[in-house]
Amino acid sequence: MGGVSDATLSLETIEGRRCLRLRGRVSLENNGGFIQVALPLAQDGRPLDASEFKGVRAWVRGNGETYHIHLRTAQTGLPWQYFWAAIDSTAGWRPVDLPFDGFKPENLQAKLDARGLERIAVVAIGEEFEADVAVSRLEFYR
């Protein structure tokens, strides 16, 4: 708490694709260290069961930095618990497939259970840098 990272969020059309763009500066000062945009997956308060799917596919473009996709599930009760996978951004749009079994647990010891997904987030985290990442489509793939 108390970090000083700053960010802006915008809905834009880039190279013909509608997208959500996250820009800002990640700062480690004051115990900070991330910026993120999160989307709810739970419906009517119930976690989403995506166990029939292999993983998350994200259409991404960015400034060449590495970003994370975070998943919160029914297993992640504490704010600092989540499952994450890294994505490398490029100047052009490209789809990135992130299989559920490749997500790593953070601050918990468990394997991701895709039957209870609650939230997905695109995150810039871990070091000081200028973040600029856009996601044009998020989906689960088989």
Partner 1 sequence: MPAFFDKMTGMDTRLARTVPSLLIVALAGLASINVSGDPGLGSREKEAAIQVTPTLLIDDFSDEQAASVLGTE
**Any idea what DSSP says for residue 52?**
T
Site for partner 1 contains 138 (CB under 8 A): yes
Shortest reach from residue 75's CB to partner 1, in Å: 19
For partner 1, which is the closer residue by CB, 22 or 75?
22
Q: Pick from 37, 5, 30: which is nearest to 130 by CA?
A: 5
For partner 1, which is the closer residue by CB, 17 or 66?
17
Residues of this chain, 58-117, that bind partner 1 according to CB under 8 A: none
Task: List the structure tokens of 106.
Answer: 């953070």
- Total interface residues for partner 1 by CB under 8 A: 37
For partner 1, which is the closer residue by CB, 41 or 85?
41
Q: Choose which of 42, 53, 63, 115 interacts with partner 1 (CB under 8 A).
A: 53
Handedness of CA 142, 119, 78, 44 (dihedral sign): negative
Q: Choose which of 15, 38, 101, 128 interacts with partner 1 (CB under 8 A).
A: 38
Q: Could you tell me which stretch among 60-68, 85-93, 102-110, 134-142 binds partner 1 (CB under 8 A)?
A: 134-142
Buried b or exposed e, range 92-124, using 16+ CB within 10 angstroms: ebeebebebeebebeeeeeebebebbbbbbbbb
Q: Pick from 117, 110, 98, 114: which is nearest to 47 by CA?
A: 117
